[in-house]
Every structure is written in structure tokens, then in C-alpha cells.
Amino acid sequence: METLNIVSELSTVDAKIDSGAQLLGLESRYKIIRLLAKGGMAYVFLAKDLKCQRYVALKMMHPKKGIAELDKQRFIEEVQITSQLDHPSIISIYDLCQGKNGEPFYAMKLVRGETLEEILKQVAANNEKYISQYPLRVLLQIFIKICDAITYAASKYIVHRDLKPDNIMIGQYGEVYVMDWGIAKVCTPWETKQLLRKQSIYDFEDSFVRTLREMSDTQSEATAYGQFLGTPMYMAPEQICADFEIDTRADIYALGVILYRIVYLSNPFSQSAIKNIFKEKLKGDLDFSKKTIFNSGCKRSSEILNSVIRKAMAVNLSERYQKTSDLKVDVDSWLHGYATVAEDASQIRLIKLLLSRHKNISLVLSLFFISLGSFCYQGYLNVNDIVIDKDFLELELNHKSMESKKRLIAKLKLEQELNEYRRHISGIKEQLATYNIDEANIKKVIELSEQLVILDPSSKNYQNLISLYITNKNYEKANDSLVYALASYPQDSELANLINNIK
């Protein structure tokens, strides 16, 4: 169903409204006001319910002669299916009627908003208003609501078969509606169990190739009817296999394509011809290397979302998500910093995610272990000093013995190394003084400052190094160095003030 372009269609709008009004008849409770949208099989009008005094959307088949009986049955079945799906993200049906010539039409809730397709196109066109209103986080929350609706439909053994952004309406107040259930399929519970036993579509490859010829004149983003049902860009590969009965996993594939559109604002297939698109679908090779994730402020790895998309769009049915709720959980997990099923996270990955979700706890734990390490090291130094003093006393008392001479030599070497160590620190400080802190020298200055902190971990040297990190916008290293510095100098206010400069 495409949104009406008022300017280009102005000359025919009145005629369509007149035809719709004639179809309703004079005694109808609905008064048509204007045309909202049109599709291949039906029009949608804004109308007023004269009995209830409310505005509704009125969908009716094209008022033309010779409408096929199958099309009428499919139209009526759409109403019956949709009206029995009682879910906040599935549009409410108010009434099913017949026009004066027997043509069916129905009234449904009027949604004031726009389609997800329109939103994605505006975001892709860098429309600042849409980018600020629909960052990736919000778009993924919309996607989760779509998954909720499809999960509910699957619980009623309904397969939508035509999921795409054009059939998702976003209301003015954030409502999400899955629309257009015109080619939905009703599966019996027994049939669904039988379908789930089929694990691969490769047994039907001959059927697949034969039906491709039927698709040559069909647009990749338009709903098609006939031997195959759905929109080629979003159809699962098994949907065009004549000998293969689809199940709810076909909707999961379409959701994977929608997720790809949301994340990358582009189509997952490079080809435009329908036959070539389905050849790409059968290969199942999705290339993410040249794609850029929609920048929205979500500081999460896009590689994990790629794993989710791959699993949703898997050609082999056994590798695809088996339930829409599983796909929803993975997307929600990614949003909130949890591991997804698709990524098969290791224990180290799980620990990292735990710490990233609880940054305050991880900082406290880091400071605790750093403090504990510093305490143990200081204790070791104190014990070592006592041992050195005792050895030196023995050396003085037994200086004539060979052992005493060896220890005396060792002490002299130690003093020599200490002097060399101090000269090395002085040399680094003198070298630092010769550099101007600018773009050309910043990396060399940071390298020397890092060496200086290792040799002389004083509060002042830490401050200088952290400031250099901040100047170079390396906030992660600045944060790590600040944690270590505060562990050694917790009362230093100048160090603490540097926290405000780390973004």
C-alpha cells in the first residue's frame, strides 16, 4: 500500500472518492472524506462513522467490474484474520460491510502517522529532524514491538508473509502497527508441527529455479500475487518454492531484512533484478564489510548485530531463529549490553559485558584490587629493606671475609645502578622539555611520559600523562591511568579534578 502523492494524483482523487461513495451507497453509515493511500488491489479512505461520530480508515477493493472471486475471498479473509488478532501492535477492525453491488469493504482504526519505510528514507537522506527523533536505539525498540506482534500472530498459527517497512505504521505518539494482513496464511497446529520438521529448502531447488521466471516483471519492493505471494526483497527463499509449505520462520527471515534496513539504512542485496536477488538469497552470503552502521550513539559492537541478522536470514531453516521471540530477545539483549544467542559468547565476553553494564561496580573493584596490589607490594618493599639492612650490618662486621667482599661489591653495583636510574629519569625530563606539545610531537611526548611514569610514578607525572591522553582524545587510556593514579594517591584533588575532562 503506497501513500498517495496528492500533487501528482490531484486530477483523479475526486473520481476515486466518487467511485468509493457510490460503492458504499446512500444509506451507508460512513461518509468518505478523502483518499489516504492506494495499493494494487484496494484504496484506503479517510471516512467518518456517522453513528459513532468518529473518524476511521475505510479500505475497499477497487470499484471495478470483473473482480476475481479469489481476490474477494482474500480481502474478506484479511478482515477476519486481523479482527481476531487482539494485540496493541495490530490494527483494530471495526466493521465488515458490503457495498450496494456486493463489493466488500471494512472500517478500521485510523492511524495518524507514517510508515517505517518513509522514516528510514528520511533518516538515510540525513534529515536532521528524523535523525534526532529516530536514532538507532528508538528504531530497534520499534523493531522489538514488531517482533511482539508477529510472536502473538505466530501463537495463533498466522504467518503474515508480507512483512516490510511499508506495512509498518508508526503513530504520532510512538504506536507501532503491523498492517496489511491480506496474504496472511492460517496454519493449523498439526500443520505447523509438520512444517517445523522440514529443515532445509535445498530439496526444492528445481521448483525454486522454475518459479523465478514468474517473477521477472515484478518490482522487488512491491507485493506480488499469483503463483507466489509476498514482496521479493523481503521474502524468505522458501516462499517461492511451489512444493514447499512455509511456516512462521518465513516471517523471521523478513524481520531479518527489516533489521538490516534499520541498522544499515540500505538493502542487504546488491542486485536489482528479482532473479538475481533470489540467487543471492540462496547463497546466504551477507557482506557487511563495506557497510556503515547507522550512527546513533549506541556504543555497542555492530559485529554482534551482524550475527543476529545472519541468523535471522539463514537459508537453512534449522540455523534460523525458530521463534520470533528469540530474535526479539537477542536484539533487546544487544540494546541493554547483554550477550546474544547468535554470537555464542565466551565466558570472558560475558564478564566484560557484566562489567560494562555495572561501570560503578567495576571501577570500585578495580580500585580495590589496585589498592590491594599496592599494599602487598609496599609490604614486600618494607620486608626487603629490613633484609638489606641486616645484610649490610653483616657485611660491615665480616668485611674481611670473601662473602663480605662479594656483598660489598653487590652494594656498590646497586648504588651505581641507582645513580644510573636517576640519570635516566633526568634525561627523559630534559628530553621532554625540548618538545612543544603539538600535533607533530604529541605521540613522542606521550611515549616519553609513559616511560617516566613507569620509572617515577609520582602524582605530578601521572597528571602530566593523563592530560596528554586527554589532549590527544585517547579517553580510554586516560581513564585507565587515572584509576591507577587515584589508587596510589586517593587524596590528590588535582588528579580527581581530571575526571571532569574525560569524556
The residue annotated as part of the active site, out of 148, 162, 180, 326, is 162
Length of the chain: 503
Distance, first Cα to last Cα, the chain: 46
CA distance 303 to 300: 9
Give the Cα-Cα-Cα angle 142, 170, 270 (nearest 5 degrees).
65
Rounded to 5, what percent of the chain is helix, strand, coil?
55, 10, 35
For residue 4, the 8-state DSSP code is P
Pairing type for strands 168-171 and 176-178 reads antiparallel
Q: Are 212 and 242 in contact (CB under 8 A)?
A: no
Q: Where are the beta strands (DSSP E) in 338-454?
A: none
Kindly report the backbone phi and psi dihedral angles of residue 464, in degrees, each rounded to the nearest multiple of 5, phi listed first. -65, -45
Q: Read off the C-alpha cell for 29.
A: 453509515
Q: Which of 422, 53, 34, 77 is nearest to 229 (CA)?
A: 77
Q: Which of 37, 35, 61 is nearest to 47 (CA)?
A: 35
Catalytic: 14? no
Q: Are 41 and 77 in contact (CB under 8 A)?
A: no
The dihedral through the CA atoms of 368, 374, 376, 382 has a sign that is negative
CA distance 8 to 57: 22
Give the Cα-Cα-Cα angle 445, 450, 453 (nearest 5 degrees).
125
CA distance 322 to 369: 44
Kindly report the backbone phi and psi dihedral angles of residue 3, in degrees, each rounded to the nearest multiple of 5, phi listed first. -70, 140
Give every CB contact of residue 68 below 8 A, 6+ residues apart in sequence. Answer: none
Instruction: Give the burial string for 202-217 (b: 16+ CB within 10 Å, else e).
Output: eebeeebeebbeebee
Burial label for 495, CB within 10 Å (0-12, 13-18, 19+), is buried
CA distance 63 to 166: 24
Give the Cα-Cα-Cα angle 179, 328, 355 (nearest 5 degrees).
145
Active-site positions?
Answer: 162
